[in-house]
Amino acid sequence: MGGRKEVVMNQKVDRESEIYGKALNLFMQKGYNGTSMSMIARSLGMSKPNLYHYCAGKEDLFYKIHLDYLKKHLIPFIDEAEQLPDPKDRIAHVLRRLTILNTTDKACRVLIPDIINLNRSHHQAIVSIWKRAYELVRNSITELQESGRIPETRESFLAFLGFSMANGTVYWFDYSRQANAEELAETVVQIFLNGLFSPAKEKG
């Protein structure tokens, strides 16, 4: 009995993964507003009513796709960064991995800007995950300031600046030039850290 339930659950997960993948491809090609539930259903070879068994509508589907994406791609490197003892390394890890993600996966070009299409509760749920990454960077900056390694500047401004540098790449990066992704990530990290540390000599 338990084995049968497991098979059914695995089939459901596989089907959801297929739906998320096909829908995300359409969102990437046509944008959120240019994609309809009918188009998504056709791409999956299923009826529109059947598609509604997996989501309440287009907005709900986009939310589930975004949430699934963050669980697979953003949360893992937040977890990794939290384990690093040096706050400078934590900041570098988050900005490096985020820049690489944004410049190697075109999905970021639709997921980040089109978050504005989510309803309030879904928007808050997604933002809460991004906020975890932001607070990790902000708190690391505070730790550096309190230890005297960098001068005191409003840490929230600095954290927002770092995320703007990393996330801003989705608007202009040429995805056909993947060889430049790693170099760009290192450039973002170095420019940001140089800005933090250059006004005063780092201690230790």
For the chain, what are the domain ranges? 2-54, 67-197
Check if 2-54 and 67-197 are the same fold.
no
Of the options 3.40.50.300, 1.10.3720.10, 1.10.10.60, 1.10.510.10, the CATH number for the domain spanning 2-54: 1.10.10.60
Longest dimension (CA), the chain: 66
Kindly state the average pLDDT of the residues 17-24: 96
Residue 1 has pLDDT above 80, yes or no: no
- Condensed to tens digits (0 to 9), the pLDDT of residues 67-77 reads 999 999 999 99
Query: What is the model's pLDDT at position 178?
Result: 82
Query: Which three-class secondary structure state does DSSP give residue 3?
Result: helix
**pLDDT recorded at residue 141:** 97
pLDDT recorded at residue 177: 85
Q: How confident is the model at residue 8 (pLDDT cuts 50, 70, 90)?
A: very low
Task: Find how far residue 99's CA is from the centre of its chain.
Answer: 10
What long-range pairs does 35-44 form, CB within 8 A, spacing at least 24? 37/61, 44/18, 44/19
Q: Which CATH superfamily is domain 67-197 in?
A: Tetracycline Repressor, domain 2 (1.10.357.10)
pTM value > 0.75: yes
Question: What span, in angstroms and rounded, lies between the C-alpha atoms of 99 and 111?
Answer: 15
